[in-house]
């Protein structure tokens, strides 16, 4: 670990001031401290934000859901409002990490978490995300767990968060406050694919702080769920995962929200799948046809070719699980 200073922010204002001066926010620390130990992260000043009053979870007036950035993963997963209105959120959280980590980790930190790519996390390996221009070791290296969508020649690491897949499916908004005031941006714009600038992971300006994530109201009745496929039963990142929400009325799908995890450099929205579903009647065939479109544009690497087919099947399965009871 490189030496650093540590201060505790007592107000959002104070935090942002410190952030603007180059301070790095630390919430649960479950991503940041690990990476500091590996010297992947070398912040010179930490600003602890866990004491800030940003952990409320509440229904919004029109039936959406607002989750404070500092709410703990475990608390959000257990929240009755969350479980009732957006069970997919609770499912994604409960399938994440371990109970101990979920007790520490926050929602803001979860969306901000950094890649799990072995080369990124090993400072002796070239990595464009860590050191732009040094090269991507995963491209020609071992890439079983890497992305097949949204990749570039500079980086192929997946975005590891489960929750962010649900937030992406539901087109959540990221609420930010920074030196220039408040702003809100769709999560689909907030998380950035690597492109030519793999070191820029978010649309986050200096000193900006996530204050909340907001899921917009979705038409009811709504069925939603999250499915995670992995080698072991617990405590592993996704090989593939899918978040699905369907609004079915009069036997017809009126709204479909679908996104996939474990396959994209950012949580991967699947508009082609959504479009195929809308206006149609649920049926096993429909799930299969829609899922056929899930891996459109996939560019598999040497070791992750199986993800293309696995993704389609994961989508098909989860469409059936969520929409099948019609």
Ligand X SMILES: Cc1cc2nc3c(=O)[nH]c(=O)nc-3n(C[C@H](O)[C@H](O)[C@H](O)COP(=O)(O)OP(=O)(O)OC[C@H]3O[C@@H](n4cnc5c(N)ncnc54)[C@H](O)[C@@H]3O)c2cc1C
Residues 6+ apart with CB under 8 A from 122: 38
Contact 148, 309 (CB under 8 A): no
Chain contacts with another protein (rule: CB under 8 A): 1-3, 39, 116, 118-119, 122-125, 137, 140-142, 229-236, 239, 306, 309-310, 313-314, 316-317
DSSP letter assigned to residue 157:
P
User: According to CB under 6 A, which one of 9, 16, 18, 27 is a site residue for ligand X?
Assistant: 27
Residue from 126, 109, 108 nearest 117 by CA: 126
25 contacts which partner out of another protein, ligand X, none, CB within 5 to 8 A by kind?
ligand X
193 sits near ligand X (criterion: CB under 6 A): no
158 sits near ligand X (criterion: CB under 6 A): no
237 sits near ligand X (criterion: CB under 6 A): yes
Tell me how far apart the alpha carbons of residues 226 and 128 are, in angstroms, rounded to a whole number: 31
Binding mask 100-139 for ligand X (x = CB under 6 A): -x--xxx-xxx-xx--------------------------
Tell me how far apart the alpha carbons of residues 295 and 276 are, in angstroms, rounded to a whole number: 14
Q: Please, which residue, 98 or 275, has the CB nearer to ligand X? A: 98
178 sits near ligand X (criterion: CB under 6 A): no
Instruction: Say if strands 209-215 and 223-229 run parallel, antiparallel, or are unpaired.
Output: unpaired
Q: Which two tokens stand for residue 240?
A: 């593939």
Starting at the edge strand found earlier in the chain, the sheet holding 268-269 runs 223-229, 240-249, 252-261, 268-269
31 contacts which partner out of another protein, ligand X, none, CB within 5 to 8 A by kind?
ligand X
75 contacts which partner out of ligand X, another protein, none, CB within 5 to 8 A by kind?
none
162 contacts which partner out of another protein, ligand X, none, CB within 5 to 8 A by kind?
ligand X
User: According to CB under 6 A, which one of 125, 163, 253, 266 is a site residue for ligand X?
Assistant: 163
Helix and strand tally (H, E) in the chain? 12, 12
106 contacts which partner out of ligand X, another protein, none, CB within 5 to 8 A by kind?
ligand X
User: According to CB under 6 A, which one of 210, 212, 253, 294 is a site residue for ligand X?
Assistant: 210
Q: Please, which residue, 197 or 289, has the CB nearer to ligand X? A: 197
Residue from 221, 230, 266, 259 nearest 242 by CA: 259
Binders in 60-99 for ligand X, by CB under 6 A = 69, 73, 96-97
Q: Which two tokens stand for residue 181?
A: 């005031």
Distances from the Cα of 145 to the Cαs of 38, 131, 156, in angstroms? 20, 21, 10
Decide: helix, strand or coil at residue 123: coil
145 sits near ligand X (criterion: CB under 6 A): no
Binding site for ligand X (CB under 6 A): 24-32, 34, 69, 73, 96-97, 101, 104-106, 108-110, 112-113, 160-163, 209-210, 237
């Amino acid at each position: 670990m490189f030496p650093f200073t540590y201060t505790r922010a007592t107000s959002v204002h104070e935090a942002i001031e410190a952030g603007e001066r180059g301070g790095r926010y630390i919430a649960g620390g479950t991503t940041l401290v690990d990476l500091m130990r590996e010297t992947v992260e070398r912040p010179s000043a930490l600003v602890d934000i866990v004491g800030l009053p940003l952990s409320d979870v509440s229904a919004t007036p029109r039936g959406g859901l607002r989750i404070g950035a500092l709410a703990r993963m475990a608390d959000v997963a257990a929240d009755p409002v969350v479980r009732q209105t957006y069970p997919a959120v609770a499912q994604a959280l409960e399938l994440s990490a371990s109970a101990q980590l979920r007790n520490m980790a926050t929602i803001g930190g979860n969306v901000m978490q950094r890649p799990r790519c072995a080369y990124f996390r090993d400072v002796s390996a070239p990595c464009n995300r860590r050191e732009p221009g040094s090269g991507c070791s995963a491209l020609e290296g071992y890439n079983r767990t890497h992305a097949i969508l949204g990749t570039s020649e500079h980086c192929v690491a997946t975005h590891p968060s489960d929750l962010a897949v649900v937030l992406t499916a539901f087109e959540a908004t990221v609420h930010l406050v920074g030196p220039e005031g408040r702003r809100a941006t769709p999560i689909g714009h907030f998380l950035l694919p690597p492109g030519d600038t793999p070191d820029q992971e978010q649309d986050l300006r200096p000193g900006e702080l996530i204050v909340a994530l907001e899921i917009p109201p979705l038409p009811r009745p709504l069925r939603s769920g999250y499915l995670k496929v992995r080698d072991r039963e617990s405590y592993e990142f996704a090989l593939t995962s899918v978040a699905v929400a369907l609004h079915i009325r009069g036997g017809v799908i009126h709204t479909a929200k679908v996104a996939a995890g474990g396959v994209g450099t950012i949580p991967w929205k699947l508009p082609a799948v959504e479009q195929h579903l809308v206006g149609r009647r649920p049926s096993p065939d429909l799930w299969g046809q829609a899922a056929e479109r899930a891996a459109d544009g996939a560019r598999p690497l040497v070791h992750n070719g199986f993800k293309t087919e696995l993704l389609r099947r994961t989508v098909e399965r989860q469409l059936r699980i969520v929409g099948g009871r019609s």
